[in-house]
A and B are shown apart, each in its own frame.
Chain A
């Protein structure tokens, strides 16, 4: 197996509220070159799970491994793209992409790589620009180029298009698919949008909440490019929606009862 999660669990310790279990016993294996979405309502722990794969959070229980190597901390073999682009404002676009390369290769090599990946995301013209001069969508493309430039084994994406407007999001979906096909990277993509998951992925892992757990694992066998009006896409959407309805209601109900308890 390429990326493997065994019995992974996460519990946060809080001084006031005691222990809070986000999820437990998550088992998941992902093949090389697969595009996998983690889909679920807020609070299911999908972002936490991704952060753990990135090495930014520690697993309370269980173990994770990438190509047989245990994941213990963050490393350049796992590139991450966050919801906020998190580019460094003191560096221009090209220097941002070169940031992770400077310690591992010569300047010339790093520059060539940066140029290559900036071209891939169609931002060659903006090499010398600073981040405040870029739109949100452009910033995310730079972030993708930056993560890819490290040549990671897996690309982790945490709702990367969540903060963008609808149109930009659609454009970036198409770009991401092209980039994925070109680089043949394994992608683990966190989203709460059913449509986004269906449009992009080979496989969708649906997570439920309270407690967080995997409730379904779908393969999306619809040829790309996928159109929203495609009947198979619509059917798939309904299926996943019905599955998630119960979970979303559960969250709403719990929030409502909390509210009532507080108001007394």
Chain B
């Protein structure tokens, strides 16, 4: 069954590549706007062996990790405050949803005006991309601690800080994981938006650079890299983590 799925996926990929190659061979479109799969493969190979892509990836991951780390920290603090205090939630909760609904790319001009064409600006956009979705999920997490757990803990003499750290925090872990996965996804998108308009280095910048020099093979190659990283991080790291936690917490 598992192998079967893998075979199907590989066959599908081969078919897509075949059709792509076919269209290329027919020569309907000019090579400059429609590169062949082999030239994209070559661009990928060269990019990695010459180190251009490696450097860009390193820079992108640096921005991402700093930004995501800050987003998780701010988002968690914000979410805990809103989750614990009804007053704070009633006052500011709605604005959090408003902030979350702003597409990250909208922050780019603001970031450039504040920090210039610097890596700071990129990180700033990444932080804004991840913070609000993290905060929303942590808020939900704190608010959905089963009352039954709190009652049981109370009868065992638990209250105050101990209640928070030994019951509410661990009970929140599944939602926290969802927050983490979404924060990653939003930050990743924000990162690309920020880097596209930055002065580099970074994967997004390399993409814009390839566009400037009309290197369609490199443009497609970088899009492939971005897609692969996104899929791997989501499927192999975050979704898996979330699923494991949910089943152990008895939610799945």
Contact = CB atoms under 8 A, between A and B. Distances in A.
A130 B251 CA distance: 13
B170 A88 contact: yes
B157 interface: yes
Nearest to A146: B156
A89 B167 CA distance: 10
Interface stretch (B33-41, B147-155, B193-201): B147-155
A56 B248 contact: no
A12 interface: no
A76 B156 contact: yes
A89 B156 contact: no
B250 interface: yes
A79 interface: yes
Given A84-B148, A86-B148, A88-B171, A74 B157 contact: yes
B115 interface: no
Interface string B83-113: 0000000000000000000000000000000
Nearest to B252: A132
A146 B146 CA distance: 19
B151 A131 contact: no
A54 interface: yes
Contacts of B162: 103
Given A74-B155, A76-B156, A100-B157, A90 B171 contact: yes
A46 to B, nearest CB: 17
Contacts of A132: 247-250
A156 B156 CA distance: 12
Interface in A43-82: 54-56, 74-76, 78-80, 82
A76 B148 contact: no
A150 interface: yes
Contacts of A54: 155
Contacts of B154: 55-56, 74
A88 B155 contact: no
B167 A88 contact: yes
A99 interface: yes
Interface in B116-154: 146, 148-149, 151-154
Contacts of B156: 76, 79, 99-100, 146, 150
Interface in A236-255: none
B157 A89 contact: no
Given A75-B155, A86-B152, A99-B153, 11 more contacts: A56-B155, A74-B155, A75-B157, A89-B248, A90-B170, A90-B249, A99-B156, A103-B157, A146-B156, A150-B157, A156-B155
Interface of B: 146, 148-149, 151-158, 162, 166-167, 170-171, 173, 247-250
19 contacts: A55-B155, A56-B151, A74-B154, A75-B157, A76-B156, A82-B148, A86-B151, A86-B152, A88-B170, A90-B171, A90-B173, A90-B249, A99-B166, A100-B156, A100-B157, A131-B250, A132-B248, A147-B155, A150-B157
